[in-house]
Structure 1
Amino acid sequence: MASCSTDYSAIVFALTAIIIVPIFLFIFLVYHNIIMRYWNYLATVPWNWPILGMTPTVIAHIHRVHDRLTEVIQEVGSTYLFKGVWFSGMDLLFTVDTSNINHILSVNFERYPKGPDFKYIFDILGDGIFNSDSDVWRALRKTAYALVHDHKYLKFLETITLKKVKEELVPILQTVSENGSVLDFQDLFQRLSFDVTCMLVTGSDLHSLSLGFRHLFSKAIDDVEEVILLRHFYPKKLWELQKKLQIGQPVKLKQAWEIIDENISTLIASKRESLKNQMKEKEGGDDDEEGADLITSYITNMNKDDKFLRDTVLNFMIAGRDGLSATLSWIFFCLSNNPIVVEKIREELRTTIPTSEPCDQWRIFSTEEVDKLVYLHATLYETLRLYPPLPFQHKVSVHHDVLPSGHHIKPKTKILFSLYALGRMSEVWGKDCFEFKPERWISENGKIKHVPSYKFLAFNAGPRTCLGKQVALIGVKIVAAAIIYNYNVIQQSGHEVVPSSSIILHMKRGLKVRVTKRWIT
C-alpha cells in the first residue's frame, strides 16, 4: 500500500509539474514582456516633468531631433502632444496623420494660418512670403508665381545653372578626381546653390564656388537656421531675457542678422545703381537674359522699397539655396549606397543622347533632356521622401476644431508636421518605408505615380504648395545628371552621415567623398 501511495504521489507530482510549470512559465513570460514593453515605452516617450514639461528630453536629444521625433511617433501613434514648460505657451501637437494633414493644409486652410508665433520665431524673414498670411500672402504669392513661371525666368535658370556647372563645378571635380583628394559634397553644393540662387534673385554672382572661400552671407544663413530650430522649444520670456542680457542664442542670431542685412543691402544698392545707369539694358528683346532676375522685376515693374526687397531677397535666398543644396547632398548620399540605381540613371541618360553622338564621352544635359527622364525623377522624389529639405511644417489654429484623428483642437494650438517622420511611417509608405526604392514612384505603364501632396509633403500641400517646385526640379536634375553621367562618386569609408539640428535638413558633418572620372578627357 505504501508503494502504491508513493507511486500515486509521484504521478500527481509529475502531472502537476507538467501542467503548472508551463502555466507559471507562460504567466512569467507574459508579465516580463509587458514590463519590458512598458520599460521601452518609457525609454522612448518623453517624460512630462513637473514645471519643465518634456523640454529636458528635447535638450537631451537635440543632436538627433529628427530621428528622435520619428521614434516617439512610431511608439505612441501618428499624433502626439508635446508638453512644453508650464504656462510658457510652448505646447505643440505633432502629427504625421495624413488625414489630419489634408484637413489642416487643404480642406480647412483658412482655419490654420502660420500665425503670430511663427512670425515671432522667424522674425528675421520680415514681411516676406513665408511669414505672411491671408490677403497679404495671396498678393505676394500671385506676383511671385507669375515671375518664377515666366518663360524668360526659366530660360535664365537653365542658362546660369549650365554655365555654373560647366565653368566652375566641373573644373573642381576634374581637379579633385586627378589629385585623389577628399571633397565635401554638401559644402560644394551649398556654394553652387548659393551662387545660382543669388543670380536668380538679384542678378549678382558672388562666386562662392571657389573652395578656398566661404561667403559670410551663406554662413550667416546657416547660423540663423540652427537658432530658429531651437526657438521652437524656447520659452518666449527666456528668449527675451537672454536677448536683453545679450547672451546665448539671441546673440548668435543678432550677429548673423547683421551680416545678412549688410550683404543684402549691398546687393540691392548695386542693382539699383546698375538699373539707373542702364548697365542691364535689353539687347535681344524678349529672348534676352539680362534683367531676368526677380529683383529687377520688382524694382522696374513694381517700384518696391528696400524693406520689401530685403525681405524678398532673404526669403527666396533661403528657399532656393537650401532646397537645391540639401536635395543634391542627400541624393548623392543615397546613390553612394545604391550603385544599381546609379547604373539605371546612367542607362536612362544614354537614351536621351542622339544616335549620331557617342555615349562614352563627357556630356552635360539640358533641361529638355532631363525632363524626359522618369527614373531620375523617381530617384529625386524618393530622396525627398526620406530627406525633405524642410523637415518641419508649422501651423496654428484660430478656431475650435476636431481633427479626423479625433483630437480636439483649441484656438492658438500650435501644430507641427514632421515631414522627416512622415516619410518613415509604414502605414503610409509600407513595411519597406526605410528602404531607398525609386521604383515605388513608377507606375506599371512607366510613368510617375500620382501621390497626394498630404502624403508626400516635400513641396507642401494645399494653397501654399511650393511655387518654386518647377525651378527646384530643373536645377537639381541638371546638376545631378552632369555628375552621375561623368563621374563616379564614392563616399569616404568610415564617414558617418547624419542630419543636423536645423530647420533645414543639412548633414551634420557634411558628405565626404572621392571622385573619379568616367571618361578620358
Structure 2
Amino acid sequence: MASIDLFEASIFLFCFLVFCYFLNKKTYGYLYIKNALQSYPWNWPVLGMLPAVLVRLNRIDDAISIIEKTNLTFLFKGPWFARMDALITVDPANIHHILTSNFSNYVKGPEFKEIFDIYGDAIFVTDGEIWKNIRMSSQARLNHQGFQNLSMSVITSKIKNVLLPLFSRFSEDGTVVDLQDVFRRFMFDVSLVIVSGSDPQSLSFEMPEVEFAEAFDNAGEAILLRHVIPRFFWKFQRWMRLGQEKKLIEAGATFDRICAKYIDAKREEIRSQGIDHDHDHSNGESDDVLTYFIKLDTSKYEHLDPSNDKFIGEILLSFIFAGRDTTATGFTWFFGLLTKNPNVEAKIRQEINTNLPKERPWSAIDHKEFLNKLVYLHAALYEAMRLYPPIPFERKSPIKSDVLPSGHKIGANSNILIPIYALGRIRSVWGEDAWEFKPERWISETGGLRHEPSSKFLAFNSGPRTCPGRHLAMVTMKTVAVEILQNFDINLVKGHKIEPRPRLALQMNHGLRVTLTKRCSA
C-alpha cells in the first residue's frame, strides 16, 4: 500500500473543504470566484491556481485567452505542498527546443510514469534505452509491407462486412446513432485483430458491453484526474480504494487477466505451428503485433524480453490504446465538423468522385496510391486534428536546468505542460482565423499539401517521439471517410451540442448523435 504523509493529507483536506464551501452556488463567494477565474488564473494563498483548474475542467476553451495574454508561456502555481507547479507553453520555439533540438534533456520522467503506472513500460511512458528499443521494434513492424497489407485487409473487411451493413440498417430504421461510440468500437475491433488476431466484435447492432474496452475508459478517467489533483491525495484514494482509484485498480486487474488470455493463446498457437519463437523469421512478415513481439529477435533489441508476459502485455495495451482512442477521436471530430460545414463535405465528395477508380483497389500499395490523390480530404483531417487533437496535452520534465528560447528558466525535474488543444487555436501561431475549420490552410499554391512544422501541429507529436503509426492512422481515417461519405449522408440530431470532454483522448462530451441516410448514387 502507498504510504501517506498524514500532515500533508490533513492540510489538503482542510483546504479542500474550504474550497468546496466557496463552490456552493448559493453563496456570493462562488460568484466572485467564478468571475475572477474567467478572467485570469486566480493564485490563491496555499492552494495556488488549482481551484481555477478544477472550476474550468469542463470548459477548456476558457484557458486559451489566458495563454495568449501571457506571451504563450506562463508558470502554473499549484498548492504549496503538492509539487504541482508547471511551466505551460504553446510557443512553437519552446516546443521545438523541448521535443526536438534538446530532446535528450527532456523526458517523461518518474512522476509521469507513476501517473501512468497501469501501463507499465508502454512506449508512451518509458524513456532511455527501453523506449528506443520499443520504438525501433514497433517501427520495424509498422513499416513492413506485409503488416501494412494485413492492416489494410482487416480495415477494409471490417468496413465492408460490419460498418457499412450496420449503417444501412440504422438508415433503414431511422435510428439515432452515436458515431463516437461507433468509431471507438470500430477501432477497438480493428486494433485488437491487428494486435492479437482476435476479433472482440464489439461493433454490432446490439452494441454489447465489452469489459476490456470499459477498463480502458475507467483507466483514462482516473489517470486524467491524477494530473489535476495533488499526488498524495490520489495516493490516499488508492490506499483506501476509493473513487476513480478503485476503478483504476479494477481496470488493472482486468488488463492483467485479459492480456494473459490473449498471450497464452498466442504462445500456444505459435508452439502448435512448430515455430522457434526465440528468433525472428522472414515468413512472419504478415504476423499480428503479438506474434511479432513474441518471436522478436532479442539480439537486435537487448533491452526487451519477449519471454516476459508482463512486457508483452504492455505492448498489447499500448497498441490498442494508440489505435482505438486516438484514431477514433480523429474520426469523431472530423465527421462532427463536417455536419457543421457542408461546403467542406461537398468539396471532399467531389474530390473522391473525381479520383475514385471504377474498381476499388484493396491492395495496400494501390490503395495508398489512390488515397494520396485525396489532398483536400487529407487537409480536412489535419484541420480537424489541429482544432481537436486526439491527445490534448504533452508533458515533459528536464533532466538538467535549462533556459527556453522564450527566456524562461526551468529547473531540473520540473514539470512542463504543452496544451496541444490550445496550441491549435493560438492566433499568433495560426492566424486570426485560428478558430475556424478551414482545410484550405493546408493546401499550397500548387494544389499540394502544405507542410507545417510539427512544433505547430502536434497531433502526431514531434521530434524523435513522433507517432510511429501516423501513416497507418491517416490511411485508416481516409479509408473510412471515403466509404462513409460515398454511401451515406450524415445529419446532426437537432439541438445536439458538440463540445469537448477533457480526457486522455479528447472525446465529445455528449457523443456525436446523428441520423444516417443512404445515398442514392452509391
TM-score by length of 1: 0.87
Counterpart residue number, 2:30: none
CA distance in 2, matches of 1:116, 1:343: 48
Q: Using the TM superposition, give the Cα deviation of residue 289 of structure 1 relative to its aligned residue in structure 2, in angstroms.
A: 8.9
Output one character per residue of 1:243-300: Cα deviation in whole Å (capped at 9) or x when no partner: 112212211211122222222111111211222222999xxxx999995211101112
- Alignment partner for residue 183 of structure 2, among 184, 189, 192? 189
Q: Which residue identity is paired with 1:245? A: M
Asked whether the equivalents of residues 221 and 244 of structure 2 are also in contact (C-alpha less than 8 Å), the reply is: no
Residue segments in structure 1 that go unaligned for 5+ positions in a row: 1-38, 359-364
Partner of 2:353: 350
Q: Tell me what 1:26 maps to.
A: none
1:89 aligns to what? 83
2:479 counterpart residue number: 478
Alignment match, 2:426: 425
> CA contact under 8 A between 1:274 and 1:280: conserved in structure 2?
no
CA distance, structure 1, for counterparts of residue 520 and residue 268 of structure 2: 45
How far, CA to CA, are the matches of 1:290 and 1:97 in structure 2?
42
Q: What SS is found at the alignment partner of 2:517?
A: strand
- 8 Å CA contact 1:375, 1:438 repeated in 2: yes
Question: Is the 8 Å Cα contact of residues 203 and 291 (structure 1) preserved in structure 2?
Answer: no
Deviations along 1:464-519, one digit per CA (max 9) or x if unpaired, are 11111111111111111100111100011101111112111011110000000112
The farther-off stretch of 70-79 and 453-462 is: 70-79
> Secondary structure of the equivalent of 1:63?
coil
Counterpart residue number, 1:135: 129
CA distance 1:279–1:514, shift in 2 (3 Å): farther
Matches within 5 A, 1:310-389: 310-354=313-357, 366-389=367-390
Q: 1:393 is matched by which residue type in structure 2?
A: E
Give 1:149's match in structure 2, choosing from 118, 143, 150: 143
Name 1:245's counterpart in structure 2: 240
Return the offset for 1:413. Answer: 1.2
Q: Which residue of 2 aligns with 1:413?
A: 414
* C-alpha distance in 2 between matches for 1:392 and 1:267: 31
Native 8 Å contact 1:264 1:313 kept in 2? yes
Deviates more, 1:139-148 or 1:186-195: 139-148
Please tell me the root mean square deviation across aligned C-alpha atoms, in Å: 2.1
Shift of 1:42: 5.9
Question: How far did residue 357 of structure 1 move?
Answer: 6.9
Paired residues of 2:146 and 2:286 also in contact (CA < 8 A): no
Alignment of 1:205-216 (within 5 A): 205-212=199-206, 213-216=208-211
What is the one-letter code of the residue matched to 1:251? K
Any residues of structure 2 matched to 1:292-311 within 5 Å, and which?
292-302=287-297, 303-311=306-314
The question of whether the paired residues in 2 share the 8 Å contact of 1:367 and 1:478 is answered with no
Distance in 2 between residues matched to 1:168 and 1:367, nearest whole Å: 22
Q: d(CA) in 2 for partners of 1:97 and 1:300?
A: 43
Q: Structure 1, residues 384-431: CA drift from partner, whole Å, max 9, x if none?
A: 100110000010011111111111111111001011000000001100
- Tell me how far apart the structure 1 counterparts of residues 467 and 38 of structure 2 sit (CA, whole Å): 37
What code does the residue aligned with 1:308 have?
F
- State whether residues 67 and 74 of structure 2, in contact with CA within 8 Å, keep that contact through their aligned partners in structure 1: yes
C-alpha distance in 1, partners of 2:92/2:356?
A: 41
CA deviations on 1:121-160 (whole Å, 9 max, x unpaired) are 1111101211111122111111111111000111111100
Pair 1:236 & 2:237 matched: no
> Equivalent residues in 2 for 1:50-69 (5 A)?
50-64=45-59, 66-69=60-63
Query: Does 1:254 pair with 2:256?
Result: no
Is 1:446 equivalent to 2:440 in the alignment?
no
1:45 is the counterpart of 2:40: yes
Mapped partners of 2:86, 2:157: distance in 1: 45
2:467 matched to which residue of 1? 466
Q: Structure 2: how far apart are the matches of 1:385 and 1:518?
A: 30
Distance in 1 of aligned mates of 2:282 and 2:489: 37
Q: Deviations over 1:77-130 (max 9, x none)?
A: 311211111121111111100110011111110111110011011111101211
How far 1:76 sits from its partner (Å)? 3.0
- What letter corresponds to residue 50 of structure 1 in structure 2? P
Q: Cα deviation per residue 1:289-341 (whole Å; 9 max; x = unaligned)?
A: 99521110111234432111011111111111112110000000010011111
Q: Which amino acid counterpart does residue 319 of structure 2 have in structure 1?
A: F
The Cα shift of 1:222 comes to 1.2
What corresponds to 1:516 in structure 2? 517
- Identity over aligned pairs, percent: 44
State the shift of 1:69 in Å.
2.6
Q: Compared with structure 1, are the counterparts of its residues 166 and 289 closer, same or farther at alpha carbon in structure 2 (3 Å cutoff)?
A: farther
Deviations 1:46-92 (A, max 9, x none): 2111211111122212222x323323213333112111111211111
Measure the CA separation in 2 of the matches of 1:40 and 1:248: 30
One-letter amino acid of the structure 2 residue matched with residue 515 of structure 1: L
Instruction: Give 1:174's match in structure 2, choosing from 165, 168, 176.
Output: 168
Asked whether the 8 Å contact 2:185–2:202 carries over to 1, the reply is yes
Shift in Å, 1:40: 7.5
Partner amino acid, structure 2, of 1:439: E
Give the distance between the partners of 2:359 and 2:154, measured in 1 at CA: 25
Larger displacement relative to structure 2 (300-309 or 324-333): 300-309
Match of 1:436 in 2: 437
Note closer, same or farther for the CA distance 1:442–1:76 as it changes in structure 2 (3 Å cut).
Answer: same
Correspondence for 1:98: 92
Query: d(CA) in 2 for partners of 1:188 and 1:499?
Result: 17
Deviates more, 1:387-396 or 1:243-252: 243-252
Q: Which residue of 2 aligns with 1:73?
A: 67
State the alpha-carbon separation in 2 of the partners of residues 289 and 384 from structure 1: 34
Q: Secondary structure at the match of 1:157?
A: helix
Q: How many equivalent pairs are there? A: 471
Question: Cα–Cα, structure 1 residues 264 and 447, in superposed 2: closer, same or farther, change >3 Å?
Answer: same
> What is the alpha-carbon distance in structure 2 between the residues aligned to residue 508 and residue 279 of structure 1?
49
**Amino acid across the alignment from 1:145:** Q
DSSP 3-state at the match of 2:449: coil
Corresponding letter in the other structure for 1:451: E
C-alpha contact (below 8 Å) 2:167/2:516 kept by paired residues: yes
SS at match of 2:455: coil
